Amino acid sequence: MGDARTDRITRRGFSLLGRGIKEQRFLFWVSVVGSVLFGFMTVADARVLGWATDHVIRPSFERGDVTEGALVAAIALFMAVAILRALGIVARRLIGGIVYYRLVAEYRRRVTRQYLTLPMSWHHRHPTGQLLSNANADVEGAWAVFMPLPMAIGVIAMLVAAIVEMVRADLVLTLVGLVVFPALFVVNVFYQRWLSPKVAHAQSLRGTVSAVAHESFDGALVVKSLGREADETDRFRDVSHELRDANIAVGRIRSIFDPLLEALPNLGILAVIVLGVGRVASGAADPGDVVSVAYLFTVVAFPVRAIGWVLGELPRSVVSWERVESVLAERGSMPYGSQTLPGAGAVALDVRDVTFRFADADRDVLRHIDLAVRPGQVVAVVGATGSGKSTLTSLLTRLVDPQGGTIAVDGADVRDLTHDELAAAIAVVPQGTFLFDDSVRANVTLGGNFSDGEVWDALRTVQADGFVASLPRGLDSELGERGTTLSGGQRQRLSLARALVRRPRLLVMDDATSAVDPEVEQRILKALAASTADGAGPTVLVVAYRKATIALADEVVFLDEGAVAARGTHDELVESSDKYRNLVNAYDQAREEMS
């Protein structure tokens, strides 16, 4: 079974090499040419050394003087070979590095584009740490084999040239020295077969550690507030120790084989020198030939290891590539149409017979939802926890698509709209706010082309202009990671301003003011209602809990267990629905007790 796994990794590894070479064909072969040039010049160096030994060094000992012409010729030859070899090294390393980094950059972009294409339902099934590991460590690991690959190919050319040169110099010494290479090959085979599964296991554990680390950092507030630091530390320590043990197992194997792989070429060199001395003494070989052969074994022994490096990287590259490939092969993208919305201003919303169920769930979250909202209307969605309110907001903004039914904006199915049109027409403000470690301006505009006047208008609408103006640098004030310098209510107001500055035609608020003071919330919602009444604001759908907030809506939709249980004004529902009345009264009572 181990051999089958090794064979599979080898086949997959060479397939991966072919893919990378095809994508960076020109630069890759330039780096290979540089590596081959380096190999040939290394062999040429040995020939020049042998020539210098016979025509410069040996005559100088025999005659007691040095021929100036021969010395100049030797120096010129050594310099020419050195310059060409240096050019080969530069081409091999520089161009080879460019190939590697281009492949990494390209596949990071592909993975990231795939993340943006895949629906939210797919992201819900994959932890953030794993996604980060796929886009970072796995992409790097997949193409790491390309760092030693040009050198390994050049080494093959070097070996061919070296063997030809050694045979020309002395066949007997060459045959003695070449015994080393089959030995190196056999040792490498055993090395890779023993090493491959352990390297694969260690690489897979890197993704696990990354996932646990990201989850720990992301949930730091929860962990600290509940006093679970020790448990979380233990959890991270366990997976870290597992990765440590896996890496140590890899290190143990390398500690056995690396010295052996280093020793074998040296043993070959010693054998060549010992036998060469005897052949020179008997007159069967020239000193220059022995020096050339011994030097060639010296300089070739280390580069030969590059082939081992390629074989050593293949298991890690294959495991990493399979993790990257699993993301790129995912299907379930959300294609967009080509339709745009005519006109401007608030839009009508029409939800017809919408049904939705999460993957692997045993029941529908939403069942046959019908909802019609007139342009400029303010509608409040009310329901108990788990009734499907947040899911409905995700469907309206097309973060996910329903399994049944249609959602239309001004008569156009949201699935037929272009991506840009959908983003421009509909804005969602989620319950959980996220701010970047950047300025107030950058967090509101998110790189959009908005003037400071437009930003301040949005801030005034959400009652955030006062605290932003009091910040040390106003719009240029840095907010820290996740906006840690602000209160929860302030973060929510900036998140709402981020949506309003884009002048959406439909604004969906998923309990987006839960952390805002009730009095401030009232002012925000009244400002939104006033703008819609003037015809300048959007149609508003708000998930609400506070009775005072619900009362501001033109209509209330009451969700119960995934279905529309009742709809009408707040006063009408209080009179007609016991469940609704008990729910909103319970919300207000709970808030009063908490305050």
pLDDT for position 588? 60
Strand order in the sheet with 366-373: 366-373, 349-356, 404-409, 412-413
Tell me the C-alpha distance between 547 and 159, whole Å.
83
pLDDT for position 103? 92
With 70 as the cut, is the pLDDT of residue 100 above it?
Answer: yes
Torsion from C-alpha of 465, 471, 475, 478, nearest 10 degrees: -140
Tell me the C-alpha distance between 174 and 240, whole Å.
49
What average pLDDT does the segment 64-74 reach? 71
CB contact set of 324 (below 8 Å; sequence gap of 6+): 107, 111, 134, 138, 139, 142
With 80 as the cut, is the pLDDT of residue 224 above it?
Answer: no
**Considering only 96-100, 320-324, 483-487, which range has the smallest mean pLDDT?**
483-487
Tell me the C-alpha distance between 184 and 179, whole Å.
9
User: Which DSSP state fits 119?
Assistant: -
- Report the topology of domain 2-328: ABC transporter transmembrane region fold (1.20.1560)
Per-range mean pLDDT, top range of 157-161, 183-187, 290-294, 381-385: 381-385
Tell me the C-alpha distance between 21 and 16, whole Å.
9
Contact 41, 78 (CB under 8 A): no
Tell me the C-alpha distance between 39 and 575, whole Å.
90
Domain ranges in the chain are 2-328, 349-594
Tell me the C-alpha distance between 364 and 391, whole Å.
11
Q: What is the pLDDT of residues 169-186, one digit of tens each?
A: 777 777 776 777 677 667
pLDDT for position 1? 45
Helix, strand, coil: what percent of the chain each, to 5? 70, 10, 20
Q: Tell me the average pLDDT of the chain.
A: 79
pLDDT for position 135? 83
b/e for 333-358, b at 16 or more Cβ within 10 A? eeebeeeebeeeebbbbbbeebbbbe
Tell me the C-alpha distance between 169 and 583, whole Å.
96
Query: If you write DSSP's letter for every residue of 40-93 in order, what string do you get?
Result: HHHHHHHHHHHHHIIIIIHHHHHHSS--HHHHHHHHHHHHHHHHHHHHHHHIII
Per-range mean pLDDT, top range of 310-314, 520-524, 563-567: 563-567
Identify the CA nearest to 564 among candidates 582, 551, 577, 574: 577
109: confidence class by pLDDT, cuts 50, 70, 90: very high
pLDDT for position 333? 66
With 80 as the cut, is the pLDDT of residue 310 above it?
Answer: no
Contact 425, 506 (CB under 8 A): yes
Per-range mean pLDDT, top range of 36-45, 252-261, 297-306, 366-375: 366-375
> What's the per-residue H, E or C state across 239-275?
HHHHHHHHHHHHHHHHHHHHHHHHHHHHHHHHHHHHH
pLDDT for position 340? 85
> What percentage of the chain has pLDDT greater than the value 70?
85
With 80 as the cut, is the pLDDT of residue 482 above it?
Answer: no
With 60 as the cut, is the pLDDT of residue 590 above it?
Answer: no
pLDDT for position 306? 66
Does the 349-594 domain belong in CATH 2.160.10.10?
A: no
With 50 as the cut, is the pLDDT of residue 378 above it?
Answer: yes
With 80 as the cut, is the pLDDT of residue 416 above it?
Answer: yes
What average pLDDT does the segment 118-124 reach? 74
Element holding 105 (H helix, E strand): helix 96-117
Q: What is the pLDDT of residues 567-589, one digit of tens each?
A: 888 888 888 888 888 888 876 66
